[in-house]
Amino acid sequence: MKPPAFGYAAPRSVEEALAVLADLGHDGKVLAGGQSLIPLLSMRLTAPHTLVDINRIPGLADVTVAEDGSVIVGALVRHAELLAHAQAFEALPLLRRATSNVAHATVRNRGTTCGSVAHADPSGEMTAILAITGGSVQIAAAGRRTRDVGAREFFLGPLESCLGPGELAVSVRFGAPAPRSGSAFLELARRQGDYAMCGVAVTVTLDDSAEVTTVRAAYLSVGPVPDVHDLTAPVAGQRYSTADWRAAGELAASLVEPEGDLHASADYRRRLVSVLTERALPLAAADAVARTQVAA
């Protein structure tokens, strides 16, 4: 199918983009990588009056590792660029573990990490990573101060965020990992590069004796928004190498409320939550040990 007719604007600064978006209101859509927007246009699931192409705006394609260890990703950073960013991987390995699962190489070459977050697809990898790292989205609008919105407040529902008319997500910040913590990411799809039937991002934090203190998980394709679940109770105080990770997986399955669709039933998704969590947690715990040894 062909997209409906639309106007086109190509601002050369953030200020110009915000002015254009303010004038357009609900009739404007931001174009960055276009890997989500263009298919929606082609299927006529959205029909904006004007596309506001931000690709010519300088200063939005930077990846910055902050002093606190968080990773700030500009609105024009492609998935492939983030995937190859050595400092970002060193600061937050979970970013690369998740980004490497985003669709196919062609999509990663054009699609933007910030755009993926703004798209608010609960099947997207980056929404879950923003949630589990306690990250935030920096939002700008003409005539207003830039605001930072945490993941819990940003995601409102499937393909629905708190971004309002005239607003632009200029960057996303992925929060720094806790000391003595490790991470893992697993997902299962019918074919490599397809949307995951279920995916999980987990973090495990250990104490000085390598015993478990905190376990957290966020899921893809399971709920309307990327909720973060605390799975600490069944494994608290247990040594990482012998912890009852199966019990943590069973707890996760009891906490989620998946829906079925043509790809997987709700019961199958709940089973995948249990299995993938059980498999991911020991990987995250081993990562915590390895990263602590490196830091020491």
Q: How far is CA 55 from CA 7, 61, 262, in A?
A: 16, 9, 36
The angle at the Cα of 85, spanning 294 to 98, to the nearest 5 degrees, equals 80
Please report, in tens digits, the pLDDT of each residue of the chain (296 residues total).
688 899 999 999 999 999 999 999 999 999 999 999 988 889 988 899 999 999 999 999 999 999 999 999 999 999 999 999 999 999 999 999 999 999 999 999 999 999 999 999 999 999 999 999 999 999 999 999 999 999 999 999 999 999 999 999 999 999 999 999 999 999 999 988 888 999 999 999 999 999 999 999 999 999 999 999 999 999 999 999 999 999 999 999 999 999 999 889 999 999 999 999 999 999 999 999 998 875 54
CB-CB neighbours of 57 under 10 Å: 22
Task: State how far the Cα of 134 lies from the Cα of 195, in Å rounded to an integer.
Answer: 23
Which CATH number is 63-174 given?
3.30.465.10
Locate 250 and state its tokens: 């069973």
Sequence letter at residue 184 = A
Q: Give me the architecture of the 181-295 domain, per CATH.
A: 2-Layer Sandwich (3.30)
Q: Which CATH class is domain 7-53?
A: alpha beta
Q: Is 254 exposed, middle or buried (0-12, 13-18, 19+ CB in 10 A)?
A: exposed
pTM: 0.95
CB 94 within 8 A of CB 177: yes
Write the single-letter amino acid at 236: A
Sign for the pseudo-dihedral over CA of 230, 259, 269, 159 = negative
Nearest to 139 by CA among 229, 223, 75: 75
Question: Residue 124, CB half-sphere, CA atoms under 13 Å: how many?
Answer: 26
Domain ranges (residues) in the chain: 7-53, 63-174, 181-295
> Cβ-count burial of 250 within 10 angstroms (0-12 exposed, 13-18 middle, 19+ buried)?
middle
